Amino acid sequence: MKELGQKVLAGDVRSASRLIRNLEDQIPGTHVAMQQIFTKTGNAHVIGITGAPGAGKSTLTDELVFSWRQRNKTVGVLAVDPTSPFTGGALLGDRIRMLRHAEDKGVFLRSLATRGSMGGISKAVGEAIHVMDAMGKDSIIIETVGVGQQEVEIINHAHTVIVVLVPGMGDEIQALKAGLMEIADIFIINKADRDGAANLYKEVSNMIHMSVAKGGWEIPVLLVESVQEPKKFAESVSVVCDKIEDHYRFLVDNNLLSERLRRKTAAEFNEALWGAILQPVLDDLDEGGEMEKMIDTLLKKETDPYTLAEEVAVRYKNRV
């Protein structure tokens, strides 16, 4: 595992893919490779792209990658896809939309499966960000799976959060009220040639004006043209790139980046504690067959989950 970590630091794509796969599969000993790379991370700008299904996040991400490559920046993309019910892996829908970058050595694209994780992202996403960061990527994009109103977890991992809306979908403002307003640094109205784009722009702008300012940052609402008009689409996405970079400079210049990094680090530490403390207990209960016995007693209503959990906690505390 130490050798795997060293290869990732050298930028080896195969090793990075293997390490991310090991993280997803929770292969024992993977933390050794993460220990190798962790101190070399913290240099990339992490961008989260979220929004309802069908909002065009993958097409937008694809063009953002192209625009950054035109500016000679290296890019990593973590596309979170729905989980296959048969293999537990990602269904790879997002990667199919970004095939034009497959041969570009300056782009590393990886799909992650949600595997039941709520919030629109995979449990492995925080560690996968570190892997891409250690490879030396300038920008890392996390594209969430598209579950709408639950996608607020992205704020724990991204420096800049983009919320993508589309006119006429019917749930735009409901999604905003459900928490996306609080996490958005940039709003994008995609497919802005559709009817209702002007009304959506007005509604979102009004909600921004009524909300509390985010440390002095004025949240922009950007219109992105239809992909069916390639030139206009590319130009509008280039403007999005400019705004993303403006936001990162704003965070740095106003000493706000450290606040986001602290939140991100706290979330990652919680995940690490879960893996180091809770997961071994669950594995132990499974291997000994005790988990099934406990579930049986719960189904028979002979006890309750809270009492059982307390008993397990006391038992393992006494082992320490």
- Asked if residue 99 is part of any domain, the answer here is yes
* pLDDT tier at 235, thresholds 50, 70, 90: very high
pLDDT of residue 51: 83
180 shares a domain with 138: yes
What is the secondary structure of 119-175 as a DSSP string? SSS-TTHHHHHHHHHHTT-SEEEEE----GGGTTGGGGT-SEEEEEE-TTSS-HHHH
215 shares a domain with 161: yes
Do residues 193 and 225 lie in contact, with contact meaning Cβ atoms separated by under 8 Å?
Answer: yes
- Asked if residue 24 is part of any domain, the answer here is yes
Mean pLDDT to the nearest integer, 168-175: 61
For the cut 90, the answer to whether the pLDDT of residue 246 exceeds it is: yes
For the cut 80, the answer to whether the pLDDT of residue 91 exceeds it is: no
Cα separation, 116 vs 97, in Å, equals: 23
Q: pLDDT of 111-121, one tens digit each?
A: 887 654 444 45
Last residue of some domain: 207, 226, 254? 254
145 shares a domain with 19: no
Q: What is the CATH number of the domain that holds 235?
A: 3.40.50.300
Q: How many CA within 13 A on the CB side of residue 312?
A: 19
7 shares a domain with 59: no
- Asked if residue 259 is part of any domain, the answer here is no
Tokens representing 162 are: 């983009």
- Asked if residue 263 is part of any domain, the answer here is no
311 shares a domain with 169: no
Do residues 99 and 61 lie in contact, with contact meaning Cβ atoms separated by under 8 Å?
Answer: no
- Asked if residue 13 is part of any domain, the answer here is yes
127 shares a domain with 6: no
Pairing verdict, β 107-113 and 45-51: unpaired
Indicate the range of 51-60, 175-184, 278-287, 297-306 predicted with least confidence. 175-184
* pLDDT tier at 86, thresholds 50, 70, 90: very low
Number of compact structural domains in the chain: 3
- Asked if residue 22 is part of any domain, the answer here is yes
- Rounded to 5 degrees, φ, ψ at 142 are -110, 115
Do residues 134 and 145 lie in contact, with contact meaning Cβ atoms separated by under 8 Å?
Answer: no
73 shares a domain with 199: yes
Q: Which domain holds residue 4?
A: 1-40
Average pLDDT over the chain reads 84
Q: What is the DSSP letter of 99?
A: G
* pLDDT tier at 172, thresholds 50, 70, 90: low
Mean pLDDT to the nearest integer, 29-56: 89
Cα separation, 92 vs 113, in Å, equals: 9
* pLDDT tier at 90, thresholds 50, 70, 90: very low
**Sequence letter at residue 280:** P
211 shares a domain with 125: yes
Last residue of some domain: 205, 225, 254? 254
* pLDDT tier at 301, thresholds 50, 70, 90: very high
pLDDT of residue 174: 57
- Asked if residue 281 is part of any domain, the answer here is yes
The whole-model pTM stands at: 0.84
125 shares a domain with 36: no
Task: Give CA 188 to chain center in angstroms.
Answer: 18
- Asked if residue 260 is part of any domain, the answer here is no
